[in-house]
């Protein structure tokens, strides 16, 4: 029986299975491995209208020459039993009252970089050193695991030399620790081969390493490389966490992840994150370099809407960005703004390990004081982003020294309206800066407010 062909919906991304030369001007020739997107289905079930990612050319393609480019999201794995840097004494008090097989994992105090598995047994607590070596972890230097999660799972199924099998963990209170595994990216189809990548000029310098322009299967991309000198387990985990958050995001106003690449031929291995290329760079630079001469009120308004839409999508998925600012918004060739930099983004309950790096001027007071990050603290940052947008890239809180900003805000002070900013936009900023998080609007209602003020916000500031 002939295999039934699955009909792909408009907007589906596909990969070409074979070369197609086409026979008429209506056809869209492509090569095996090219990326295409279905523009529409046709009356003939054997043909789609499609567009090639690399050059935007459109035409007819035969349905059986392409397959859907579906990749699964990579999830952060929770580690409820991981208590971070606690002392031996604190671990023992947490495991009290002792019940055989009760356990937790902590960071080793004597051997930084290693861990300690603490297991209650026979009225006392055994502390096993977990050695971290060559990206593997081991207790007995006989059996090695790719991750702590795998090690714990192993000893949960079998004592295998420990005093007792791990039976029940003492979960850590509050925010959850997480772990990401490289093999998860491989299994979910996110690994890009080095031979498919071309590295071009440097675009910018990021916190983790440089960002270069590149080509992947004929498409322009941005390649962010983790600096070799910062390749500690901690930074690799954060880098992979950023990638893993991005594997689950598909929205026209969020920068898309294409995949990750790992080069193990160099030591230490080099990890790259490949995203769509945003030709006009970061919005902050765009605002500062073009200014009022180029950027119209209409442009500002559409940037505000674009970012609001991207953030509403995150809010609906309970994802908190934690670092929304004009420097982390990128502009595409067609002037569409997209939120980027998911380096600190995590599901609401997860920990984001960067207390030292909190961008004070953009962060809501409750997040600064109590690490209470939520979509509502993202809304606060969106208010600061609007202020940057309407002041053409000025640094927020001009004249207030950085160390005084928190006090300034907590005393009820807010930034003034930027020069020539539409009043309803400023009102929106003030709403976003409500001291009580629940009094701030949701992103969905920010979008409605923007829609309602469209005419007023887009009318030129000075009428002739
Ligand atoms: P970090 O947040 O770690 O400091 P970024 O991801 O913001 O690093 O990247 C640094 C700079 O690289 C950006 O300001 C921008 O100029 C450039 N850049 C980053 N991603 C892209 C992209 N997808 N397209 C074009 N330029 C980019």
Tell me the per-residue pLDDT of 385-430, one tens digit each, with 9 for 90 and over. 999 999 999 999 999 999 999 999 999 999 999 999 999 999 999 9
Question: For residue 268, is the peptide bond before it cis, meaning its omega torsion is within 30 degrees of 0?
Answer: yes
pLDDT recorded at residue 464: 39
CA–CA separation, 255 and 277 (whole Å)? 9
Our answer on whether the CB atom of 352 is closer than 6 Å to any ligand 1 atom is: no
Question: For residue 97, is the peptide bond before it cis, meaning its omega torsion is within 30 degrees of 0?
Answer: yes
Probe residue for ligand 1, chosen from 275, 282, 357 as the CB with the greatest number of ligand atoms within 8 Å: 282
Our answer on whether the CB atom of 207 is closer than 6 Å to any ligand 1 atom is: yes
Provide the edge-to-edge strand list for the sheet that holds 210-216: 197-205, 210-216, 219-225, 270-276, 257-263
Query: What's the whole-number mean pLDDT along residues 420-442?
Result: 97
Mean of all residue pLDDT scores within the chain: 88
pLDDT recorded at residue 135: 74
Annotated catalytic residue 323: yes
Model confidence band, residue 279 (pLDDT cutoffs 50, 70, 90)? very high
CA–CA separation, 196 and 223 (whole Å)? 13
**What are residue 423's phi and psi, to 5 degrees?**
-60, -45
Strands 168-169 and 102-107, sheet pairing: parallel
Tell me the per-residue pLDDT of 212-259, one tens digit each, with 9 for 90 and over. 999 998 889 999 988 766 656 566 777 788 888 888 888 889 999 999
Model confidence band, residue 283 (pLDDT cutoffs 50, 70, 90)? very high
Query: Ligand 1, closest atom to CA 327?
Result: 14
Catalytic residue among 306, 323, 341, 378: 323
The full set of domains in the chain, from first to last, is 13-68 (2.30.30.40), 77-179 (3.30.505.10), 189-276 (3.30.200.20), 283-462 (1.10.510.10)
Distance of CA 246 from the midpoint of ligand 1 (Å): 15
Probe residue for ligand 1, chosen from 199, 204, 213, 242 as the CB with the greatest number of ligand atoms within 8 Å: 204
Distance of CA 213 from the midpoint of ligand 1 (Å): 10
Provide the token pair at 419: 């020069």
Q: Residue whose CA is closest, atom 20 of ligand 1? A: 222
Q: In this structure, are residues 215 and 198 in contact, taking their beta carbons and an 8 Å threshold?
A: yes
Distance of CA 338 from the midpoint of ligand 1 (Å): 12
**What are residue 458's phi and psi, to 5 degrees?**
-100, -10
- Residue 224 marked as a ligand binder: yes
Describe the chain by its helix, strand, coil percentages, rounded to 5: 30, 25, 45
Extract the runs of DSSP E, i.e. beta strands, from 264-388. Answer: 270-276, 319-320, 329-331, 337-339, 346-347
Query: Ligand 1, closest atom to CA 277?
Result: 24
List helix spans (H) across 188-274.
233-246
């Amino acid at each position: 029986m002939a295999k039934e062909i699955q009909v792909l919906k408009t907007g589906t991304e596909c990969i070409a299975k074979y070369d197609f030369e086409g026979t008429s001007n209506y056809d869209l020739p492509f090569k095996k491995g090219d990326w295409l997107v279905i523009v529409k289905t046709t009356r003939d079930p054997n043909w789609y209208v499609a567009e090639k990612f690399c050059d935007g050319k459109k035409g007819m393609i035969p349905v059986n020459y392409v397959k859907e480019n579906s990749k699964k999201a990579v999830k952060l794995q929770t580690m409820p039993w991981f208590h971070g840097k606690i002392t031996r004494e604190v671990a023992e008090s947490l495991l009290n009252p002792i019940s055989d097989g009760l356990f937790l994992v902590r960071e080793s105090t004597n051997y930084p970089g290693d861990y300690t598995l603490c297991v209650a047994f026979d009225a006392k607590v055994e502390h096993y050193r977990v050695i971290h070596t060559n990206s593997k972890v081991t207790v007995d230097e006989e059996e090695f695991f790719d991750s702590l999660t795998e090690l714990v799972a192993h000893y949960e199924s079998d004592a295998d030399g420990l005093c007792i099998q791990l039976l029940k963990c003492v979960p850590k209170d509050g925010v959850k620790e997480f772990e990401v595994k490289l093999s998860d990216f491989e299994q979910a189809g996110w690994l890009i081969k080095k031979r498919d990548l071309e590295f071009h000029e440097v675009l910018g310098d990021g916190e983790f390493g440089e960002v270069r322009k590149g080509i992947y299967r004929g498409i322009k991309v941005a390649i962010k490389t983790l600096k070799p000198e910062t390749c500690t387990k901690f930074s690799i985990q954060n880098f992979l966490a950023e990638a893993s958050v991005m594997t689950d995001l598909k929205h026209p106003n969020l920068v898309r992840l294409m995949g990750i690449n790992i080069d193990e031929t160099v030591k230490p291995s080099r990890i790259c994150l490949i995203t769509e290329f945003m030709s006009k760079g970061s919005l902050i630079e765009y605002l500062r370099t073009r200014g009022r001469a180029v950027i119209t009120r209409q442009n500002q308004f559409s940037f505000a809407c674009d970012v609001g839409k991207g953030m509403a999508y995150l809010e609906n998925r309970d994802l908190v960005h934690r670092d929304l600012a004009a420097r982390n918004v990128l502009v595409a060739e067609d002037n569409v703004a997209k939120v980027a930099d998911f380096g600190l983004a995590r599901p609401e309950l997860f920990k984001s390990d960067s207390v030292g790096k909190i961008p004070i001027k953009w962060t809501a007071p409750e997040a600064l004081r109590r690490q209470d990050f939520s979509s509502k603290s993202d809304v606060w940052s969106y208010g600061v982003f609007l202020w940057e947008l309407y002041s053409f890239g000025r640094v927020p809180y001009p004249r207030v020294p950085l160390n005084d900003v928190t006090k300034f805000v907590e005393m009820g002070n807010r930034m003034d309206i930027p020069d020539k900013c539409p009043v309803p936009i400023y009102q929106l900023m003030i709403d976003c800066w409500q001291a009580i998080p629940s009094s701030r609007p949701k992103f969905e209602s920010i979008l409605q407010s923007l829609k309602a003020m469209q005419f007023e916000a887009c009318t030129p500031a000075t009428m002739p």
